[in-house]
Chains A and B, each alone.
Chain A
Amino acid sequence: MSIREKLLDFKRRLSDRKMYSITILVIAAVAMWGMYQYKHAANLRQELDNQYNRAFYEMVGYVNNVQVLLMKSLITSTPNGTATTMQEAWRQANMAQTNLGQLPISQHVLANTSKFLTQVGDLAYSINHDNMSGQNLKEDQYELIEKLHGFAVSLDQSLNDLQNQITAGRIKWGELADKGTPVFQRTSQELPGKQFENLDKTFQDYPSLIYNGPFSDHLTEIEPKALTGENISQEEGKKSVIKFFGEDKVEAVNETGRNDETKIKTYSYEVTFKNTPQEQKASVDITQKGGHVFWMLYSRPTGKETIDIEKAKELGIKYLDERGYEGMVDTYYIKEDGTAIINYAYKQDDVIIYPDLIKVKIALDNGEVVGFESKGYLHAHRARDIPEPKITLEEAREMITSRMEILSSGLAIIPTDYKTELFTYEFKGKLNDRDFLVYINAETGNEERILMIIDTPNGILTM
């Protein structure tokens, strides 16, 4: 039957009354379904739009508050007053940053704005910390806040302009989030996106901020302290790899690339082993300077556990000793899926030095080391001059709440969030059936940190 005949046949059948009504019915049903889907999609889009608007308006509000609070902090004259305003600025800047991260705008467009808000919050927190111990604003802090306040004023102004454009309906969130059809892609991505790019220009020539906080700009620039030795070639790096795994085990080492872009420059290799399937490979990075192993990962299925955690800890120490990392002691571990990740810290003159950290991952079926990570160690390790503590163990003990039952104590060097170190007494104790670690500064007697120990069947974690 030709198409023409089919159509004619269809037409004939349509003239049948029953068939006619059925067709109408089907069309109506499909139309209703389509309407429902359309309304549903429109509702969802509206809901999303409302969320974006909420995030934006909240952010504008928080930025305005940050601006005002920075100004106020310059005027208050007591450490207490500054601490209160700084605390509030910290909170408001954080909320502004959180809301910024929810806007449907590519991250790189607002990267500087986001950085500004994070650092304002971070700096406010750090200053608040200083003020709590009774210090007034120092001259350099005063200048820093003044500078940041200037940026906050500009940001506040630009955001108000943007808000007006959004209220007037000139910017639609949907257009920013939609990738759109290829034909309209250009216009829809460029027009409103441009507005936000210009907003980000507020932070051209934004200064590097250096202060005591985890987001301070100087942290990425710190020189690694244990990166000793001569620069080696990628070929020589292979020797380090073979030595690390053991000549009797390694089948082949292949170069997979080099990284010259970061502070610690590395060579990358892929290793296959004798008597194991070819697809089970280990990846390893060797530092270009000195040929140290930066990290290693060997992913293989693990069989039945035959080794307990105590044995694994010993194996790890032996493994580290053989590779020249002497004087390491195990601290915490996690055990899961047939492997244990054990943290080792350096110990010097009975002081545990937590920043000098190496992680060793051990397969519990045969005790083989399947992972190694020495970023902490390479950054921090050195022979330290550890001073005599200025306060005695008994004095430090007095600082701890009498509600806590103290089980053990010792000296430890702990890292701060901003990569400096603190010399402390470490107390392990119990309160309400929970285990805690409390760190008291061995020089000032300040309570520096409290960690809660979570002892699970899978290992010991600290929070």
Chain B
Amino acid sequence: MKKIKVFIILVVAIFISVPIYFSRETFVTPIVDRLDVGMENYEVEKMQQRLKNWGYYDGEVNGKYDFATMRSVRDFQKTHNIPVTGIAKEDTLTAMGLTTTLKWGEVYAQSNQTRDEQLMARAINGEARGEPYEGQVAVGAVILNRVRDPSFPNTVAGVIYQPLAFTAVADGQINVPIDPDSTVVQAARDALSGWDPTNGCLYYWNPATATSKWIWSRRVVKKIGKHNFGL
């Protein structure tokens, strides 16, 4: 009888815990803990731009939390019934709409990468994590060569998310977090800066795993690591 009870409890526990496990809670929080006089960063710049748009601030949008910025924060706080301190804490930043989404257990992470760089780094991470550096830059270069080719979509996102184009996109590998020690971000940056180890290639494939017969009709220009690069 005891066994049965244990069994029932176990089944119930599994049915409850599975959905919880898969939906780790996320919450909305200000972009930073606080912004205060003397700080100088991109977050301050974002705040200044908003204050300027709304008419509280008429100085230069330069990312420096100076006296004029503080005065405009006070004005904003006064109008919005927030304790007037001149320091932008959680309440003020939330009222300004300067928030971000975090998952439980995550910490604030700043990112000064551009959109294309991030997206491309993730694509390289999914497609060529284990490849030599040159091979990683080459994958980025192929993405850019496609953007410039009339037969492909004309944006980085369009090329990366074109259906059936990249296996790493199809199987979700593109969403694998980037290892902080990995060189893929550097590789994306070098590709965007103009380095092209492939000399204009539009395709690449792994000769060991490629299933499409069509891809073998391409001319091979270069072999880097496990990949063939071709036109």
Query: Chain A: residues with CB nearer than 8 A to chain B?
Result: 18-19, 22, 26, 29, 94, 97-98, 101-108, 111-112, 114-115, 118-119, 122, 177, 214-215, 220, 257, 259, 261-264, 266, 268, 281, 283, 285, 294-295, 297, 299, 334, 336-337, 341, 359, 361, 371, 373, 375-376, 433, 456, 458
Contact = CB atoms under 8 A, between A and B. Distances in A.
B134 A283 contact: yes
Contact of B150 (A215, A259, A299, A375): A215
A373 B62 CA distance: 33
A103 B161 CA distance: 11
Interface residues of B, number: 45
B45 to A, nearest CB: 10
A285 B141 CA distance: 15
B136 to A, nearest CB: 9
A105 B164 contact: yes
* Pairs of residues from A and B, 7 with the lowest C-beta to C-beta distance, nearest first: A101-B153, A118-B150, A299-B133, A111-B151, A104-B163, A115-B150, A283-B134
Chain B contact residues: over half helix, strand or loop, or mixed? loop
B184 to A, nearest CB: 11
Contact of B190 (A26, A122, A215, A297): A297
A22 B8 contact: yes
A262 B221 contact: yes
Interface in B120-162: 132-134, 137, 148, 150-154, 158-159, 162
B194 A268 contact: no
With a 10 A CB-CB cut-off, give which of B62, B151, B199 has the most chain A CB atoms: B151
With a 10 A CB-CB cut-off, give which of B8, B219, B222 has the most chain A CB atoms: B222
A268 B133 contact: no
Chain A contact residues: over half helix, strand or loop, or mixed? mixed
A22 B150 contact: no
A261 B221 contact: yes
Interface in B177-231: 183, 185-186, 189-190, 193-197, 199-200, 212, 214, 219-223, 231
Contacts of A104: 163-164
Contacts of B158: 98, 101
Given A22-B4, A262-B200, A334 B11 contact: no
A299 B15 CA distance: 49
Contact of A105 (B60, B163, B231): B163
Contacts of A257: 222-223
Given A106-B164, A107-B165, A261 B4 contact: no
Given A262-B221, A297-B137, A336-B189, A107 B196 contact: no
With a 10 A CB-CB cut-off, give which of B148, B163, B196 has the most chain A CB atoms: B163
B222 A101 contact: no
Given A98-B158, A297-B137, A299-B183, A107 B152 contact: yes
